[in-house]
Amino acid sequence: MKKVLTVIRKEYLERVRSKAFIIGTLLGPIFMGALILGPALMADVAGDQDATVAVIDPSGEIMDTLREALVSRGDDHVALELMDCGPDQEACIEELKALVLSKEVDAGLVIDRDFYENPELVFYNTAVGAAVLKDEALRPALNQILREERFHRAGVPADQHGYILERSSWESRQLSAEADTEQNAEVGIIGGIFLVMMIYLMVLVYGQQNLTVVIEEKSSRMVEVLLSSLKPEQLMLGKVLGIGLAALTQVLVWTMAGIAVSAQGVSLGSAEINLSLFGPWLWVNFLVFFFLGYFLYATLYAGVGAMCNSAQDAQQFAGVLTMGLVIPIMLMMFAVRAPDAVSTTVLSLVPFFSPIIMLMRISVSNPPLWQVLLSWALMVLTIWWANKAAGKLFRAGILLYGSTPTWGSLVKAMKG
């Protein structure tokens, strides 16, 4: 055991003392914050861009009202240009299309002559981005005009408009056996994605480090010196644990930094992100799934690395292992939409998917305790199997040089 601790200490200190680790640990929270909050901040700084819309209004009743509605809604960055069509509206529409295609205007809008009875509109544009102009400025303003005119025609008093249009107010409360607590779905989803992506990145990066380190030491024949004083299984265990502790150190630093920053009040859209509001059960599962997920993949990466002579040889095998992390990331939003569906439950119990799918379920729902504990138990059993398989690969391949590994040689080594 003392020899294993020596390997753990060597691998751990070698990483935490490196400049890459220190820089990554310090800059990681900044990059993550920029990734999450950057788009919202840039949108606030950039503001709304000025846009010009050519309008065909055969009735002549909507144009001025629309302009006033846009100003009252704070969308005065949208300029409207009324087209003088005359009797030939078809020719006027063709002229409008030409203006849009030539970029003289940003978009074109054709309003039905009998808009209040038949509120049909045609919106011409050359880019998908113009949908923002339509959905965030023109559509709400025209809907407002339509409602107010119909209220007027129906004889509804102006002081009753707000009462009629008032929407229902919702408060979500999550129930548990202990109590009911206020629930913020957006915070749960965003926080869950944040934790899941941290597990994904750290397991992927530090798991593959085991593969790289083993290949490098094997190529430099350093491994022969190490194996003169300890067994292959001890060497593999020491490397996996040492690199894993370095990963855990970085995760803890990032997590504490996230909690400290979010506790000051960070908003994303309409949701206030505060990681300190996450319950202890979510944090426990985050640490458990991080450790189990890392140990599962790291042992397999180390075993594969022992069979390979170069990073190029290992690509075909590492790619298959990586898919075990990529597939649940692709299915993550399905877990958000239907966290308690049978298919989601089954996927969350698959050991290679559990760190992603089950943690996402816990962040947005309240899965039964037995399912969470079962996922832990299945992962532990899978790690036990993976450790045995990786140990055989390590013993069989650590001192082999020259031959290019194949899937057949890997299977044969695991059977040995």
With 60 as the cut, is the pLDDT of residue 383 above it? yes
Instruction: Give pLDDT tens digits for 122-176.
Output: 999 887 667 778 888 899 999 999 998 899 888 888 888 888 888 877 666 665 5
With 90 as the cut, is the pLDDT of residue 377 above it? yes
pLDDT of residue 374: 95
Best CA proximity match to 278, nearest among 194, 370, 163: 194
Distance (Å, whole) CA 153 – CA 327 = 56
Q: Which domains does the chain have, with CATH numbers?
A: 50-160 (3.40.190.10), 185-415 (no CATH)
Q: Hey, which residues does 64 pair with through a beta bridge?
A: none
Which residue bears the tokens 């009911």? Answer: 180
User: What does the CA dihedral 112, 118, 119, 122 come to, rounded to 10 degrees?
Assistant: -40
With 80 as the cut, is the pLDDT of residue 343 above it? yes
What three-state secondary structure class fits 51? strand
Instruction: Give pLDDT tens digits for 228-283.
Output: 677 777 777 788 888 888 888 888 887 777 666 665 555 554 455 555 556 778 88
Query: Sign of torsion, CA 14 18 20 25?
Result: positive
pLDDT of residue 47: 47
The DSSP letter of residue 1 is -
Instruction: Give pLDDT tens digits for 32-89.
Output: 666 555 555 555 544 457 888 999 988 888 888 999 998 888 888 888 998 888 778 8
User: What are the Cα distances from residue 233, in Å, to 100, 116, 230, 284?
Assistant: 70, 79, 8, 29
The residues near 141 (Cβ < 8 Å, ≥ 6 apart) are 66, 69, 70, 73, 75
